[in-house]
Amino acid sequence: MTEQDTAPPHFRVAIIGTGFAGIGTAVRLKQAGLDDLVVLERADDIGGTWRDNTYPGAACDVPSHLYSFSFAPNPAWSRSFSPQPEIWDYLRRVAKDHDVVRHVRFGHAVTAAHWEPGANRWRIETSGGTVTAQFLVSGCGGLADPAIPNLPGLGTFRGTVFHSARWRHDHDLTGRRVAVVGTGASAVQFVPRIQPRVERLHLFQRTPPWIIPRHDRDLTGPEGWLYRRLPIAQQIARKSIYWGRESYILGFVTNPRIMKGVAALARFNMHRHVKDPELRAKLTPSYLPGCKRILLSNDYYPALTRPNVEVVSGGVARVTPDSVVAPDGTERAVDTIIFGTGFHVTDPPVASWVYDAEGVPLAERWGEDIEALRGTTVAGYPNLFILSGPNTGPGHTSQVFLIEAQIAYVLQALKYAARNRVDRLEPRREAQAAYNAMVRRKMAGTVWVTGGCDSWYLNSKGRNTTLWPGFSWEFALRTRRFAPHEYHLRKERVRAGVAA
């Protein structure tokens, strides 16, 4: 057998993940005529976030007309904030309609990606075998790997433990004594759904969220009819949601004092539902709204006033074989612990298995302060594009909008490479540094760093490496064109038989 026979399959582009990022990239590449691609997915179906988060009440909190691809409007959304099964179906349908599914290798968890400088390509090791690719696009997601806090004694717990992103549907909660740890976006959605079923629900809260009403509407009636017959009406609805959301930046970034008005509204919302002053005191945040994600709910506060619910402030100190212990030493006997504690955000797992030419993983090069050029490419790691990379998250709008902006950037880069016979592009360190100096300047006065909270947006040094500090259209402008002067470019010499 020759080396040719045993060589792993090679592609022009390898994409990791089948969430909005992976599917969106594959569709756009195919539309641009690039069919030589593979999509590597560790799970056995398409969907990312919307395949994995099946907890009761899971839904988007950005209206569906905006929380969807610009190139694939869906007039059939049932509600303004559509439930998880519909978003999952939508993604599967987009993948099928655009002929992406045949490119996907399911059950292929990527465990390592090594840059091979001699060949100018990535060697990608997966649980299903090795592939090589000239370009690697990570669509591994910013919220794909659940984080469970390392609580003392957790391993000794005799009951059932799970994270909301890996809901145990085989574990009937009827009549159970349940501890819910965390009060973020997922807990606010599932707590009202499980409260009527459980015997007792102890909600361990470290920091209360700001909550405003959720204006959810049925779209199956005349509105849906209109969108099916007059697609432009849906475009207008999408645009008006988009610009309404952009206005939030005036409070988040331009002048955080505006958020005091939002706090007054949110307090009014709480007072309508929570009459007990002691409970209100526990549920009132001490930071400005927006510093942590503002949550939308009409049924969270009412659920917390039910007699079988207790809110425990201060978080969790430790776990025993059959209880959860609060910092004041009081103990709650439970048989189930559900973590709504979020994801690995400031330490993206992808960085631990992407290696540069010297075999150093990106996580080591990055350290705490993860950063990229235009949120997407990283010095030292050629031909790599990280979607939902550092400082690309939206605090106010649809992440799909920012993902599409990144995809447009990837496309520009690949087109440039093809046109100019470039087989290696790598950001210049000075370009990356200048870009991130700009990000830090913009971030300085925002509610995310001045609002007085400790959020999952921040790394352990208190730096916000997660969010884009501005209007989302500004990010789209900055990623609209690939700027060759920001890159070291290498012409195709290996292919022509000339040593690089």
- Please report, as ranges, the residues that interact with ligand FAD according to CB under 6 A: 16-22, 40-43, 48-49, 53, 58, 60-62, 67, 109-110, 139-141, 143-144, 186, 387-388, 394, 398-399, 403
Residue whose CB is less far from ligand FAD, 323 or 398: 398
Residue whose CB is less far from ligand FAD, 19 or 290: 19
Supply the minimum distance, in Å, between the C-beta of residue 92 and ligand FAD: 12
Q: What is the DSSP string of 466-498?
A: SB--S-HHHHHHHTSS--GGGEEEEES-TTTT-
How many C-beta atoms lie closer than 10 Å to residue 73's C-beta?
17
Residue whose CB is less far from ligand FAD, 62 or 378: 62
Supply the minimum distance, in Å, between the C-beta of residue 404 and ligand FAD: 11
Dihedrals phi, psi of 202, to nearest 5 degrees: -100, 120
In DSSP terms, 343 is beta-bridged to 146
The pair of three-digit structure tokens given for residue 294, joined into one six-digit string = 């503002």
Supply the minimum distance, in Å, between the C-beta of residue 316 and ligand FAD: 21
Supply the minimum distance, in Å, between the C-beta of residue 127 and ligand FAD: 8
Q: What is the DSSP string of 14-65?
A: EEE--SHHHHHHHHHHHHTT---EEEE-SSSSS-THHHH---TT-B-SS-TT
Residue whose CB is less far from ligand FAD, 92 or 273: 92
Supply the minimum distance, in Å, between the C-beta of residue 405 and ligand FAD: 13
Could you tell me how many residues make up the chain? 500
Q: What is the DSSP string of 354-371?
A: EE-TTS-BHHHHHTTS--
Supply the minimum distance, in Å, between the C-beta of residue 372 and ligand FAD: 14
Residues 6+ apart with CB under 8 A from 358: none
Residue whose CB is less far from ligand FAD, 23 or 431: 23
Residue whose CB is less far from ligand FAD, 166 or 481: 166
Residues 6+ apart with CB under 8 A from 22: 15, 16, 39, 41, 48, 137, 139, 387
How many C-beta atoms lie closer than 10 Å to residue 318's C-beta?
16
Supply the minimum distance, in Å, between the C-beta of residue 64 and ligand FAD: 9
Supply the minimum distance, in Å, between the C-beta of residue 295 and ligand FAD: 11
How many C-beta atoms lie closer than 10 Å to residue 146's C-beta?
19
Residue whose CB is less far from ligand FAD, 157 or 355: 355
Residue whose CB is less far from ligand FAD, 110 or 203: 110
Supply the minimum distance, in Å, between the C-beta of residue 437 and ligand FAD: 26
Residue whose CB is less far from ligand FAD, 67 or 366: 67
Residue whose CB is less far from ligand FAD, 139 or 375: 139
CA distance 223 to 96: 26
8-state DSSP, 393? B
Tell me if 256 sits within 8 A of 407, measured CB to CB. no
CA distance 199 to 257: 42
Supply the minimum distance, in Å, between the C-beta of residue 45 and ligand FAD: 9
Residue with tokens 């988007």: 60
